[in-house]
Amino acid sequence: MYQNEKACYSRPGKDTTHDYEAGFDDAQKLQNLRGKLLKSAEAIKQTFEIATGLQTHQSKVYGSEMVCAAEYTRLSSICTQLQSHRRVLVALIDLQSGATNLVSM
């Protein structure tokens, strides 16, 4: 969050006591962070697709018997958690993008 603080509170061309220097290396760090966030979001998306695929397969195999009801419930819980994590990552990507725009000014 240091980069976000720098991006929001730096003043270009005006030095103050509480000012931060925002330079090219900060933009590089933010770009690196963006890459990691995007990779994480994609990994979560792929994991979600695998989990929902397992749920579909399990439904086809066991039908209404739901022999593995506990596993199906666990997969549902995992899918819900993955969706939540993905929403957080999307919010972080938006925040990172805004910080990058401010640093690059």
Segments of the chain with pLDDT less than 70: 1-20, 64-67
Closest CA to 52 of 79, 88, 84, 17: 79
- Position 17 in a domain: no
* d(C-alpha 21, C-alpha 10), whole Å: 7
- Position 64 in a domain: yes
pLDDT score for 23: 78
**The domain containing residue 39 runs over which residues?**
30-103
Q: Do 7 and 22 form a contact (C-beta atoms < 8 A)? A: yes
- Position 65 in a domain: yes
- Position 98 in a domain: yes
pLDDT in tens, 48-60: 999 999 888 888 8
Q: How many CA atoms lie within 13 A of 98 on its CB side?
A: 10
0.85 surpassed by pTM: no
